[in-house]
Chains A and B, each alone.
Chain A
């Protein structure tokens, strides 16, 4: 069993297989299920992801009305031909948002690694699919590669916003996605690890500050940027750029940053964007019970 990214990369290099294959072999050993059963299980997850994206691209709205419809806006913009940052990148961003808009609307999604960060891995997958034309098997492998990296993060740091902030959720998801993109594009296991390191480095310190405590604002747009970050880092790694800080040390840094983050910035809905005047106003509108701090704000604004 691999305990860190260095071991994971070494195993893949020694056995001359993809990282996805290392994860599948470990899963066979741990679960006692057959390869076919494991592949079928991941295939189901893939189907759920595909349907969630489809649903999101048709336009959804959450019960609070805070989120929904942005994935559609971005698709329309791509079609207009005016996009500056590249259609593939924006397609990934749009599909990441589509998934999270469905999640916010209490629809069915597959957590990757969590529900709040469920957009990044499928969003990037279904965008690069259009360029790389993978087989169904390769798409399933994409998810196992993501799982392998997520597995290391989850066991050595955290994938919970409440424990480690958004860097642990969308940051982890983005790192996982970057590694998977690299592997699907034909990069080496080492390049996959570099892509993850580069991505996660740039998500460090990201706090979890959901408005009204809901997985909506800023979560949908954080998934958008997670996808964009993953795409860029994957291209950088494929270009031969490496991270000066090794992947495992970046993960360790993420963990220690999460440990020192105040609880107001770890999914309590008490700090950051949640505590802004607008954040508090939205909270009051949704739950109909203005908090003390909202009252303070209203007084100060009037005076």
Chain B
């Protein structure tokens, strides 16, 4: 089921005018920032489908940038986000793409800070609910639920080490996905869980051999 909570339907509390094109966009921006683990110096935002056609009218541009600034969907600074980004030294470039995406509300966000780069593709599926469909060319499905992302070297036994730690803390996994580009290279694990994950669990996961990064997603 795409929607799990009553608050996906009644909510979010947000700055208008569009839940998919404003609130959802802000959430995608914020997830991208969380994945990047810092405020980017430069962001290239490419809009597809309905986003490309109407992003100005809905303030989708303002909302994505607000998300990159770590603002929530009801932050009254959203209408001023472009100015705030400029003041805080974040360069923003908007592009519109003609390619027809799988979902009409699709955005690709490329973030840069020196040598560090990240590419995130997100879709806004309605009512402020979002999914991340691609991270650095890894195809996956990450929704707004509590989740962790584990980036690791593709070696045997890592998945079981990670899930063992979650089991030890009685964290129930609702959905899990693993992806890699080539055998033996970098791989990624997306684990959606039912409970909130505490810092000590994240720290323990980070200490595992061959685990490069562990990122906790914000709701």
Which residues of A does B touch, CB under 8 Å? 1, 3, 23-24, 26-27, 30-32, 38, 41-42, 44-45, 48, 102-116, 118, 121, 143-144, 146-148, 150-151, 154-155, 158-163, 168, 176, 210, 212-216, 263, 266-270, 286-287
The main secondary structure of chain B at its interface with chain A is: mixed
What range describes how many residues of B lie at the interface? Answer: 35 or more
Q: Is the CB of B127 within 8 A of A213?
A: no
Q: Is the CB of B57 within 8 A of A213?
A: yes
Per-residue interface assignment for chain B, residues 182 to 196, with 1 indicating a CB less than 8 Å from any chain A CB and 0 otherwise: 000000000000110
Give chain B residues whose Cβ lies under 8 Å from the Cβ of A1: 1
Give chain B residues whose Cβ lies under 8 Å from the Cβ of A112: 9-11
CB distance from A59 to the nearest CB of B (A): 16
A-B contacts, 24 listed (Cβ < 8 Å): A27-B7, A41-B7, A106-B17, A108-B14, A108-B76, A109-B13, A110-B14, A112-B9, A114-B20, A114-B127, A154-B2, A154-B8, A159-B127, A160-B20, A160-B105, A162-B50, A162-B104, A162-B105, A212-B57, A214-B17, A266-B104, A269-B53, A270-B53, A287-B56
Q: Does B143 contact A (CB under 8 A)?
A: no
Q: Is the CB of A147 within 8 A of B15?
A: no
Q: Is the CB of A210 within 8 A of B13?
A: no
Give chain A residues whose Cβ lies under 8 Å from the Cβ of B126: 113-114, 154, 158-160, 162-163, 168
CB distance from A40 to the nearest CB of B (A): 12
Q: Is the CB of B14 within 8 A of A109?
A: yes
Give chain B residues whose Cβ lies under 8 Å from the Cβ of A158: 126
CB distance from B83 to the nearest CB of A (A): 15
Please tell me which one of the listed residues B8, B16, B18, B59 contacts residue A102 in the complex, with CB atoms under 8 A apart. Answer: B16
Nearest A residue to B3 via CB reads A154
Q: Is the CB of A111 within 8 A of B128?
A: yes
CB distance from B13 to the nearest CB of A (A): 5
Q: Is the CB of B76 within 8 A of A151?
A: no
How many pairs of residues, A versus B, come closer than 8 Å at their CB atoms? Answer: 175
Q: Is the CB of B16 within 8 A of A115?
A: yes
Beyond contacts A38-B6, A41-B7: 13 other A-B pairs, Cβ-Cβ < 8 A, are A24-B6, A30-B4, A108-B13, A111-B128, A114-B19, A114-B20, A115-B23, A147-B9, A150-B9, A210-B57, A213-B54, A214-B58, A267-B54
Bound-complex Cα distance A250 to B166 (A): 43
Q: Is the CB of B2 within 8 A of A42?
A: no
Bound-complex Cα distance A271 to B56 (A): 17
Q: Which 10 interchain pairs have the tightest Cβ spacing?
A: A160-B126, A213-B54, A103-B16, A213-B57, A150-B9, A215-B17, A147-B6, A214-B57, A114-B19, A111-B19
Q: Does B79 contact A (CB under 8 A)?
A: yes
Per-residue interface assignment for chain B, residues 3 to 45, with 1 indicating a CB less than 8 Å from any chain A CB and 0 otherwise: 1111111111111111111110000000000000000000000
Q: Is the CB of B16 within 8 A of A109?
A: yes
Please tell me which one of the listed residues A144, A148, A213 contacts residue B56 in the complex, with CB atoms under 8 A apart. Answer: A213
Q: Does B78 contact A (CB under 8 A)?
A: yes
Q: Does B202 contact A (CB under 8 A)?
A: no
Bound-complex Cα distance A122 to B12 (A): 14
Q: Does B49 contact A (CB under 8 A)?
A: yes
Q: Does B125 contact A (CB under 8 A)?
A: yes
Q: Does B74 contact A (CB under 8 A)?
A: yes
Give chain B residues whose Cβ lies under 8 Å from the Cβ of A144: 6, 10
Q: Is the CB of B79 within 8 A of A106?
A: yes
Please judge, given known A-B contacts A115-B23, A162-B49, whether A215 and B16 are in contact too, CB under 8 Å.
yes
Q: Is the CB of A45 within 8 A of B56?
A: no
CB distance from B194 to the nearest CB of A (A): 6
Bound-complex Cα distance A214 to B56 (A): 8
Give chain B residues whose Cβ lies under 8 Å from the Cβ of A32: 194-195
Bound-complex Cα distance A213 to B60 (A): 11
Bound-complex Cα distance A150 to B3 (A): 10
Most-contacted residue by chain A among B10, B22, B104 (CB, 10 A): B10
Q: Is the CB of B13 within 8 A of A116?
A: no
Most-contacted residue by chain A among B53, B103, B125 (CB, 10 A): B53
Q: Is the CB of B50 within 8 A of A159?
A: no
CB distance from A211 to the nearest CB of B (A): 9
